[in-house]
A and B are shown apart, each in its own frame.
Chain A
Amino acid sequence: MYTQALNTKDTSDTSRPGDSARLAVFQATIDAEDKIEANDWMPEAYRRTLVRQISQHAHSEVIGMQPEGNWLTRAPSLRRKAALLAKIQDEAGHGLYLYAAAETLGVRREELYAQLLSGKAKYSSIFNYPTETWADIGVIGWLVDGAAIMNQIPLCRCSYGPYARAMIRVCKEESFHQRQGYEIMLTLCRGTAAQKAMAQDALNRWWWPALMMFGPSDTDSIHSADSVRWKIKRFSNDELRQRFIDATVPQGLHLGLTFPDPALRLDEASGHWQHGEIDWAEFKRVLAGGGPMNAQRLAHRRQTEDDGAWVREAALAFAEKRRQAKVTRVAAE
């Protein structure tokens, strides 16, 4: 579903003699808007930055299956049940393409999983909030997938080819999810008083966490000039957040809902919606593991890994037996 601007800067220097000429070629490729491919030379810091960002994104997709999964067995109609199951399945698929994109940079999926399960790797803070009602499924599609699209559209032009191509496919599916989420909200808002109240309550709870998906404010950001020079990041966190607010507020007003921000107002001169201050203490707390659902999300993932270990072992043992049998057969012929 989504990548978050976590803005961690890679500071280690591993440059070697002769790198400066290769670096010049590398940068010229990027400046010409050509793609860097898996077998091309790249600075170590570029590789590590991408591995970190792509794997965080992959982990977010996989962890993001849980909050929606909470309503899968209770979806209120068969049509919604099938759509939600297909959406969660898409997220698993996004996780797969992204792990595959990260693997082109010389890491293995198992290592990345281990980093997630140990708590070393981060994932989007948004998934550490609980899904309390069915309306949360609508709001996640509308706001969370909507924010994801804002963040990810520029990544379709990211300098690293495998990531950019994965993002093109992911964005198409996210945009479908976003429309589906908005359609759930529309149905609730046109429904009974209880349904509309459910929709309003969900917006109240998810609005601020959705805005936090764009990462720290530019004034506090330890934003890396490298990511900009390498064309991994093309717009600042605040620019993307503003685009999201400008696109989303009219949609919410169309639904007849209110936003939980008394400072929200349209600035006629600039045409932008101005918003109140984000609670950055909450953002930092949730990112650091102190959100309402952090412990449960990781516990669920660890339990799944443990429960499935015997299956994966059996599959490997079976493949090895078949390989041996083939070797024996070929040798006998």
Chain B
Amino acid sequence: MSRAEAQQAIALGDDALVLGHRLSQWSSRAPTLEEDIALSNLALDLIGQARLFYTLAGEMEGEGRSEDDFAYFRDASAFRNVILVELPNGDFAQTMMRQLLFAAFMHPYFAATAEHATHAGFRDIAAKAVKEMAYHVRHAGDWVIRLGDGTAASHRRTRAALDALWPATGELFEMDADETALAASGVVPDRATLHAPWQATLDRVLGEAGLARPDGDAHTLTGGRRGAHTAHLAPMLEDMQSLARAHPGATW
């Protein structure tokens, strides 16, 4: 069981790190200084969560792997993040839409974990992360509403972002045999139970933004949990890992 638990912690860490890294790419590039600061906040929350999950995974494995071993010394095929978080930032509408789609799922995920999980390691991280994700939903949701109901151009971009990202949302609800077993024993939430709260958040925000929930297939961009990633992840990791890998064994 502890191997499956560690895999779960790694997957949660990978989601957080990859999305946090993507958000950090906005630094000094945001539409306003205030938003630059806000995007850094979101990124810092996620990088912080990744560190906690990797540390937990290392403890569960008991093989001495550190947070940086997980982040810097695995190739793309070993990453277990969902495709949604590795997609490029695109424009500001796409970044905010991706954040909404992800956070609207992770908020109830962490709420359920903090309340019900039988494993203290997951519960403690979730108790902290649930507050952060509430802010992410609010911040990204406010922007999706503003952009959706702003100008014709911003509406068009927001619509395009939703259409582009929708096919990657189904993977948020996928569970393999290990995760299903963990959910059955109460270690992690059953993802299927989170579909209703996720959809309720989306419907509220999209309704105010003047956007309809797409009816297309939400499962065409999938495979990240099995290590089958898009072509976007490897170059992102190569850049991120380049310095650490150039000096193996060094302390920074």
Residues of A within 8 A of B (CB): 62, 65-66, 69, 72-82, 85-86, 88-89, 92-93, 95-96, 99, 134, 184, 187-188, 191-192, 194-195, 300, 304, 307-315, 317-318, 321
Contact = CB atoms under 8 A, between A and B. Distances in A.
A194 B247 CA distance: 8
Interface in B185-239: 239
Contact of A187 (B32, B33, B153, B251): B251
Interface stretch (B47-55, B75-83, B165-173): B47-55
A79 B66 CA distance: 12
Contact of B47 (A76, A85, A93, A315): A85
A311 B40 contact: no
29 contacts: A65-B36, A74-B240, A74-B242, A74-B243, A76-B247, A76-B252, A77-B252, A78-B17, A81-B47, A86-B40, A86-B44, A88-B28, A89-B41, A95-B33, A96-B34, A188-B252, A191-B250, A307-B31, A310-B153, A310-B154, A311-B32, A312-B32, A314-B147, A314-B150, A315-B150, A317-B151, A317-B154, A318-B149, A321-B149
Given A89-B37, A194-B247, A195-B250, A81 B24 contact: yes
A60 to B, nearest CB: 13
B65 interface: no
B243 A65 contact: no
Contact of A192 (B29, B35, B153, B247): B247
A32 B92 CA distance: 51
Q: Which 10 A-B pairs have the closest CB atoms?
A: A314-B150, A308-B31, A314-B154, A311-B31, A89-B40, A65-B28, A76-B252, A318-B146, A318-B150, A76-B244
B28 A66 contact: yes
B32 A62 contact: no
Contacts of B72: 76-77
B118 interface: no
A192 B154 contact: no
Given A192-B249, A311-B35, A314-B150, 14 more contacts: A73-B21, A74-B243, A75-B243, A78-B47, A78-B51, A82-B44, A85-B24, A86-B44, A99-B33, A192-B247, A195-B250, A312-B32, A313-B153, A317-B154
A78 B241 CA distance: 11
Given A82-B44, A85-B40, A86-B40, A134 B243 contact: yes
Interface centre among A65, A78, A85, A304 (most CB of B within 10 A): A78
B157 interface: yes
Contacts of B92: 307-308, 311
B27 A69 contact: yes
Contacts of A312: 31-32
Contacts of B244: 76-77
A332 B212 CA distance: 29
B71 interface: yes
A315 B149 CA distance: 9
A88 B40 contact: yes
A191 B243 CA distance: 14
Contacts of A89: 27, 36-37, 40-41, 44
B25 A92 contact: no
A73 B154 contact: no
A74 B239 contact: yes
B204 to A, nearest CB: 17
B243 A76 contact: yes
Nearest to A66: B28
B28 A313 contact: no
Contact of A315 (B40, B146, B153): B146
Contacts of A309: 31
Contact of A314 (B47, B54, B71, B153): B153
Contacts of A195: 247, 250
A78 B43 CA distance: 12
B10 to A, nearest CB: 14
A181 B169 CA distance: 41
A310 B47 contact: no
A69 B28 contact: yes
B179 interface: no
Interface centre among A69, A88, A315 (most CB of B within 10 A): A315
Contacts of A187: 251-252
A191 B246 CA distance: 14
A321 B43 CA distance: 31
B37 A96 contact: yes
A116 B50 CA distance: 38
B240 A73 contact: yes
Contact of B30 (A85, A93, A300, A304): A304
Given A88-B28, A307-B31, A312-B31, A82 B151 contact: no
B24 A310 contact: no
Contacts of A304: 28-31
